């Protein structure tokens, strides 16, 4: 498959570079602000963007993203906004891969095939759906593939080894490894069994493994990327926006994390 995501991953693999993936919630604090944040994230060295779309019942998310979701829904965000924003970002020359990140229900409600067509037309590169395990994901996965879009699946610390292998085979682009048993939200430490499990997963696949959930500190980024190919940071960005941080200071924060990740050790 050839899209911005696969090209980005291939380049990073060749240059032995680690990847920084950022998550933002569309419409938090506003659609305009989301766009501004994305541009700053890109300038600060973000390699991959996950554009979160709000759902009223986000099972896998902690208080931060729950709050941002409720806020975005109150702002009246729709899928059309997601398509429009990405189209505009592409017009303005933002060329980093962008993945659509949401729960399944808004996608089903919109109609999966119509959703995939619009996703592709507006300049997305793929999708991550945290409540769609591979058993249930075949239909969407096939539609995405036919539109040259990636479907990224998640692996958790509780995933058994043969299932890990199967998911790694199905996941397109990279594998999203959930760092901990729990929900999203910034934490300070690195879970004890993380390094070991990522090593096991890396032995089962040649696809890059990105680690998300609970990451907010440069020190965590350094530890995790000793074994993983990159990290995903989300709640920590939203926390800063929620505490009133301006867009430039978000840029500064991301630069520090990216530096921790790109510096050779």
Using rule CB under 8 A, residue 113 touches another protein:
no
Clarify whether 42 is annotated catalytic: no
Name the residue nearer to another protein (CB basis): 78 or 255. Answer: 78
- Looking at 50-58, 187-195, 199-207, 233-241, which segment touches another protein (CB under 8 A)? 50-58
Cβ 228 to another protein, closest distance in Å? Answer: 17
Name the residue nearer to another protein (CB basis): 110 or 245. Answer: 110
CA distance 99 to 50: 5
Using rule CB under 8 A, residue 110 touches another protein:
yes
CA distance 252 to 265: 22
Clarify whether 50 is annotated catalytic: yes
Closest CA to 22 of 7, 34, 10, 4: 34
Cβ 206 to another protein, closest distance in Å? Answer: 20
- Looking at 31-39, 99-107, 218-226, 247-255, which segment touches another protein (CB under 8 A)? 99-107
Number of helices followed by number of strands (H, E) in the chain: 12, 9
- Looking at 30-38, 160-168, 219-227, 249-257, which segment touches another protein (CB under 8 A)? 160-168
79: which 2 tokens?
Answer: 């899928």
247: which 2 tokens?
Answer: 């867009």
Using rule CB under 8 A, residue 55 touches another protein:
yes
**DSSP state letters, 179-247:** -SSS-----SSPPTTHHHHHHHHHHH-SS-EEEESS---HHHHHHHTTTSSEEEE-HHHHHHHHTT--H
36: which 2 tokens?
Answer: 């501004």
Applying CB under 8 A, the residues found at the interface with another protein are 54-60, 62-63, 66, 70, 73, 78-79, 103-110, 130-133, 135-136, 153-160, 163, 167, 178, 181-183
């Amino acid at each position: 498959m050839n899209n911005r995501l696969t090209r980005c991953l291939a380049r990073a693999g060749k240059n032995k570079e680690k990847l920084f993936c950022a998550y933002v919630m569309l419409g938090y604090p506003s659609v305009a602000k989301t766009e501004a944040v994305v541009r700053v994230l890109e300038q600060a060295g973000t390699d991959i963007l996950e554009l979160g779309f709000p759902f009223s019942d986000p099972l896998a998310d902690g208080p931060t993203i729950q709050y941002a979701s409720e806020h975005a829904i109150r702002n009246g965000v729709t899928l059309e906004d997601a398509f429009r924003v990405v189209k505009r970002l592409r017009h303005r020359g933002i060329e980093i891969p962008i993945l659509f990140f949401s729960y399944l229900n808004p996608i089903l409600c919109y109609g999966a095939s119509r959703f995939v067509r619009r996703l592709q037309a507006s300049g997305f590169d793929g999708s991550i759906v945290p409540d769609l395990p591979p058993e249930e994901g075949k239909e969407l996965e096939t539609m995405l593939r036919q539109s040259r879009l990636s479907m990224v699946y998640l692996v958790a610390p509780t995933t058994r080894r043969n299932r890990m292998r199967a998911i790694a085979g199905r996941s397109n682009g990279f594998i999203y490894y959930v760092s901990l048993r729990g929900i999203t939200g910034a934490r300070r430490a690195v879970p004890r069994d993380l390094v070991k499990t990522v090593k096991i997963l890396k032995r089962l696949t040649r696809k890059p493994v990105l680690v998300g959930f609970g990451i907010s500190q440069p020190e965590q980024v350094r530890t995790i990327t000793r074994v993983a190919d990159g990290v995903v940071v989300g709640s920590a960005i939203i926390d800063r926006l929620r505490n009133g941080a301006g867009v430039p200071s978000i840029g500064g924060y991301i630069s520090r994390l990216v530096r921790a990740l790109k510096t050779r050790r």
